[in-house]
Amino acid sequence: MGKYLTSRILYSFIALLLLAALTFFMMQALPGDPFLKPKKLPAAVEENLKVKFGLDKPLIQQFGIYMKNLVSGDFGYSFESKRPTADVISRGIPYSFELGIRSIILAVIAGLFLGITAALNAGRTKDAITMFIAILGVSMPSFVIGYIMQYYLAFQLSLVTREVFNIQQLLPITGWKNEASKILPVIALAFGSMASISRLMRSSMLDVISSDYIKTARAKGLSRGAIIRHHMIRNSVLPVITILGPMTAAVMTGSFVIENIFAIPGMGKLFVSSVQTQDYTIIMGTTLFYGAFLILANMLVDLAYGFIDPRIRLAN
């Protein structure tokens, strides 16, 4: 286990360095100028700003300085706010992290429940309803789900119920201030992942149900509940765990659009605004953050294999 963790950490560090290098050169290849505002700055002012941020140096030298600072934990300064990039990003991390974690938890719990329900009722009404929900979730992007919920649940329904109560107090369509304001964005972000998990869990569980060891467990007289808990679910959940790493990254990066739709002041909104203003250091900082998050998520998934299935053991 120790050797495995050491090698994974080393490979992760190398992957982050490569990601940083690739992002740096891609940013430099973009057309335009980070100091080109709606009204162009005077040449002297623009030149002074380039000197201040080191953009007057040759590209290779800029890259060397950037990588050296990056290894020491210095992400540079934001061109737009003139503040340290790490400070700017750290303000949006709590919002994005909470939105992502809530969405992942909801997607896993609801997806497993729907998948198990569909598998145990294969060919029946519950199965058909579950699969219809899953098809909708897979077919519709999260931002479409978000707009639909905003329009029908928060706006149209408020017109119908305004004489009785204000539903927008129960389901606010913008902000991230209280528990009520977190309901719609979390559901919108989790819906697609929930659908994928439910379909995968259903398919995996149907394969397990027809296995010989399930028939053996029934022949031994085990109760239906014990067979479902200890044999069906445990052996069916491994494919779901396999996709949790990339799915977690997809949920976190998918929050870019959701945060803009619901006006959540997280990293997604920061990333979109930094692209519009060509704030290179913010773009590279957020890219590295999400890259590190994806690598960590995949590592945790690999470690979880050994705990879920005793047949899987990591190399020592």
Q: Is pLDDT above 80 for 189?
A: yes
User: Sign of dihedral through CA atoms 234, 235, 240, 244?
Assistant: positive
Looking at the predicted structure, is the pLDDT value of residue 132 above 80? Answer: yes
Q: Which residues make beta-bridge pairs with 84?
A: 77
pLDDT the model gives residue 305: 63
Name every residue whose Cβ is closer than 8 Å to that of residue 62 and which is 6 or more positions away in sequence: 28, 54, 55
Please give the Cα distance from 251 to 98 (Å, whole number). Answer: 12
- Spell out the residues 6+ positions from residue 148 whose beta carbon is closer than 8 angstroms to its own: none
Average pLDDT, the chain: 79
- Spans of all domains in the chain: 2-71, 92-282+293-308
How many C-beta atoms surround the C-beta of residue 198 within 10 A? 28
Q: Would you state the pLDDT for residue 316?
A: 46
Which of 47-51, 76-80, 114-118 is modeled with the greatest confidence?
A: 114-118
Q: What is the arithmetic mean of pLDDT over 43-64?
A: 75
Using an 8 Å Cβ cutoff, are 257 and 142 in contact? yes
What residue type is 271 in one-letter code? F
Least trusted range by pLDDT, from 127-131, 134-138, 302-306: 302-306
Q: What is the CATH number of domain 92-282+293-308?
A: 1.10.3720.10
Q: Give the mean pLDDT of 194-218.
A: 85
Q: Among 31-40, 219-228, 242-251, where is mean pLDDT lowest?
A: 31-40
109 pLDDT above the threshold of 50? yes
- Cα 138 to its chain centre, rounded Å, is 16
Helix (H) or strand (E) holding 310: none
* 42 class by beta-carbon count within 10 Å (0-12 exposed, 13-18 middle, 19+ buried): exposed
Please, which pLDDT band fits residue 165 given cuts at 50, 70 and 90? low
* Dist. CA 150–CA 156, nearest whole Å: 9
Average pLDDT over residues 256-271: 82
Summarize the confidence of residues 241-253 as an average pLDDT. 75
